[in-house]
Amino acid sequence: MAQPLGVTETPIPGLLIVDLPVHEDPRGWFKENWNREKMLALGLPDFGPVQNNVSFNTRRGVARGIHTEPWDKLVSVATGRVFAAWVDMREGESFGTVFTAEIGPDRAVFVPRGVGNSYQTLEDETSYVYLVNDHWQAGVYPALDLADPQLGISWPIPLAECELSEKDRVENPALAEISPIPHRTTLILGADGQLGRALRALLPDAVTFTQADGDLSSTEVLAGIDWRRHDVVINAAAYTAVDAAETAEGGPVCWAVNAHLPAALAVLAREHGFTLVHYSSDYVFDGVRSSHDEAETFAPLGVYGSAKAAGDLAVGSVPHHYLLRTSWVVGEGANFVATMAKLALDGVSPSVVDDQIGRLTFADELAKATLHLLQNRAAWGTYNVTNAGAPMSWAQIAAAIFAQLGREAADVAPISTEEYARGRASARRPAYSTLELAKLTDAGFVPEDQLVALERFVSDLRPAVTVGTGRSRS
């Protein structure tokens, strides 16, 4: 009876042994060398192989490696047996860790990028097979001396008796001469916006790209970024001027940032294998329903919502993606809450729309949800993300801010959207923006109540504003 499919960890982080069921009968044997559904369920990463290579070795004692190409691979044997050795070449505590194992048809090994891979054949006519998730290209990749005493690899067949390439025999350096391979990093696009700043606070080691670094709608700018360095790309860049998007000047810019950029990133994500994180909006819906789940069909009311919907469709084509749909974002910088707090402290009594219903999303909460999904390897796809609590109108939120700052809630005058828009160039807005949060909470992230977060946010704002003037204190 064939052994069950199983996955075992090794001392090298991410290097996994895969026990393969081999089904034999008088005709020979059969095995599933790669079964995505079964292997992902057991903990293998969804590494997206794009090339299948076979190395046929005519005789016992052929040795190859230790090579460290910039891609992940699943190695196995079709016929024969090998003794294989791996060395962690990545920066960090595990640098230099060695693991060895014998591999036959009943075993495969997942080798993450940055781990050196080598083997020697133990039988004649051995076929060594490997799936890789990037197309081979010429280059000089880190390699190690197979006989380096620091590695201490006990090769079953002495290397002096093995057949090696000239490079593997004399040219490769020792571990002590090698610089560790840097880990792939997270890249935050739009890192100077409200959300971008919140993401930077949680991901201080991330590479950032701001408006000062270039125009992301430019193909030349995108071509100048080394995407191979990044395993996660978080796109926090967005055009959010909803009213201006309806103009001849603003419409093309809105489409460039909110639709064309995500489409370009989707192509790059498929090409380079990184996880793409993107942010969507309640504006992709018409707001007729009182609340919206992730599966609702798009029905945007204007240019902004249409561009966001187009970007969403592009991002949804990426195998590894998180699309976080949100509403009413509040963070560091100009926003509704800061405006209302200033008006309250300046003694102004504003008129605020009371027939648009939804929830606030504080940028730091959205950033925390992003990190949660990434760190916990939640299922790929779309997630609604806002703060929790009972849905409220803009007028109710403004009244809560006024009350906290010592003003009467009645100092906020409710007004309809129609009245507010009279005489203004205003885009149509969804009447109901409330997003269902069940999928997010099922993934283990429970958002904070919006009123709790609002009270803290306003408290943090108040010391920076002088009562009666609205001027910043020096």
Give SS3 for 117: strand
Within 13 Å of residue 356, how many CA atoms lie on the same side as its CB?
24
Find where tokens 């007028």 sit: 395
Residue 159's alpha-carbon distances to 119, 165, 193, 301, in angstroms, are 11, 12, 57, 70
Residue 140's alpha-carbon distances to 67, 68, 133, 167, in angstroms, are 10, 10, 18, 12
Strand 329-330 and strand 361-362: the pairing is: parallel
Task: Name the catalytic one among 67, 183, 272, 372.
Answer: 67
Say whether 67 is catalytic: yes
Q: Which helix (H) or strand (E) holds 456?
A: helix 450-461
Paired tokens of 237: 């860049």
Identify the CA nearest to 116 among candidates 78, 84, 83, 92. 84
Q: Kindly tell me the number of DSSP H helices and DSSP E strands found in the chain.
A: 13, 24
Find where tokens 């409220």 sit: 392
Phi-psi region of 35 (alpha: psi -120 to 50; beta: other; left: phi over 0): beta
First and final CA of the chain: distance in angstroms?
A: 78
Asked whether 123 and 132 are in contact (CB, 8 A), the reply is no
Q: Cis link prior to 66 (omega < 30° from 0)? A: yes
Task: Name the catalytic one among 119, 130, 239, 383.
Answer: 130
**Rounded to an integer, what distance in angstroms lies between the CA atom of residue 86 and that of residue 144?**
11
**Rounded to an integer, what distance in angstroms lies between the CA atom of residue 30 and that of residue 424?**
71
User: What secondary structure letter does DSSP report for 132?
Assistant: E
Paired tokens of 96: 């230099």
Identify the CA nearest to 443 among candidates 363, 364, 348, 379. 379
Say whether 322 is catalytic: no
β-bridge mates for residue 99, sequence order: 86
Q: Who contacts 2 (Cβ-Cβ below 8 Å, separation ≥6)?
A: 21, 22, 23, 24
Residue 146's alpha-carbon distances to 56, 61, 210, in angstroms, are 20, 13, 45
Paired tokens of 308: 């966001």
In the chain, % helix, strand, coil (3-state, to 5) comes to 30, 25, 45
Instruction: Quickly count: other Cβ atoms within 10 Å of residue 206's Cβ.
Output: 17
* H helices present in 55-169, as ranges: 166
Active site (catalytic) residues = 67, 130
